[in-house]
Structure 1
Amino acid sequence: MRWTDLFDDLEAQLAAQEAAQVQGEVAEHTRAALGRVSLSERFLADLGARVRLSLRGGLVVEGALSEVASDWLVLQEDGAARPRELLIVTATVLSVSGLSGRSDAGRPSRVQRSLDLRQALRALSRDRALVRAHDLDGGLALGTIDRVGADHLDLSRHPDDLPRRDRDVFSVVSIPYQALVCVARS
């Protein structure tokens, strides 16, 4: 009888060790899977959610995530007198509050994932929208995007209460993309 108890005890110990090993492997696989999740995938899982973003240049913005691409996102800011759309360069995000912790790698279409910052800026240029361009040093330029180059944009500065006309343009500023934090449609 004592031998049976000894063997039962050894079997229980072996089973406990195997269970602990499996549990450890599951935990390690989970950590490894989480280590492959990008911030864009986290943003995609929370489309429509309200978030707070701290950006380079000292800018802090709040609003609902409405679009996400590989190197930019659009935030519907609702704190201003009238809602604005902010095109934010993802590389300038310092911190995010309000994400759920979920991720979604499969949601964006191939077309959406391939849209880069230049294409998003070209859409604003095509619309002739009055924009506020924020830079890394906290600078602000107000005007209309005239040209979207390979590595910069040209912004015609004019009074914000007038549409862009050659006679009203008082300067043109070129902003390299590497200095751009966000572009707010006014």
Structure 2
Amino acid sequence: MRWEALFADMEAQLVAGRVADVRADVAELARAERASVTLASRARASVGRQVRILLGGTDVIEGELVDAAPQWLLVATSPARRALVPTGSAIAVAGLEDHAAPGPGPVERGLGLGHALRALARDRVVVRVRTGDTDLTGRIERVGADHLDLTDLGGTGRGAWAVAFAGLRAVQTG
């Protein structure tokens, strides 16, 4: 009887050790999976949610996340207004889902910031371009690889501006 109890106890310890190893492996795999999640993939899973995007200082964009791609987020700030925010300009985002959407397909991966800006240029939409401490109002005339040309309608009398993508915080319509 003592031998049987001893063997049963040893077997229970082995099972408990295996369970602990499996739990540790699962936890490590979960941490590794979380480490591969991008802001853009969480944003794609959050389309339709109310979000707040901190662009710097007290500069915040709030509204419904309408669309998201690897390089940009589109937020409806009112029924008639939209803000296109480069993901690189988003310092912090509140309101995102905890989980991530599956990776983007080849078409979605190709929809960069330039593609979205070219659509605004094609439609001749008047936009407000937010850069750092400056806002410019005008129409996007051309979109290059790393900049856009904006015809100034804001009354500065300076003609067109070449605005580097690196300086964009948001492009607003409406």
Q: What letter is aligned with 1:148?
A: V
Compared CA separation, residues 171 and 89, structure 1 to 2 (3 A): same
Pick the aligned partner of 2:93 from 96, 102, 105.
96
Structure 2 unaligned runs (5+)? none
How far off is 1:138 after superposition?
A: 2.2
Q: What residue is the counterpart of 1:114 in the other structure? A: 110
2:127 matches 1:131: yes
**Of the candidates 147, 151, 164, which is equivalent to residue 152 of structure 1?**
147
How far apart in 1 are the matches of 2:86 and 2:122? 19
Deviations 1:91-119 (A, max 9, x none): 0111111112011124x443222111111
Q: Which runs of 4+ in 1 moved over 3 A?
A: none
Q: For 2:52 and 2:77, how far apart are their aligned partners in 1?
A: 10
Instruction: Give aligned pairs, total.
Output: 173
> Secondary structure of the residue that 1:5 maps to in structure 2?
helix
Identity %: 40
> What letter is aligned with 2:111?
L
Structure 2 length as normaliser, TM-score?
A: 0.92
- Retained in 1: the 8 A contact 2:86–2:170? yes
In the alignment, which residue of structure 2 is the partner of 1:33? 33
Alpha-carbon offset, residue 131 of structure 1: 0.4
* SS of equivalent to 2:98: coil
1:141 aligns with 2:129: no
Gaps (5+ residues) in structure 1?
A: 161-168
**Quick check: 2:136–2:154 contact (8 Å CA) kept in 1?**
no
Closer, same or farther: CA 57–148 of 1 in aligned 2, 3 Å: farther
CA RMSD of aligned residues (A): 1.8
Q: CA deviation at 1:123?
A: 0.7
Which letter maps to 2:46?
D
SS of residue paired to 1:54: strand
TM-score, normalised relative to structure 1: 0.86
Report the AA paired with residue 46 of structure 1.
S
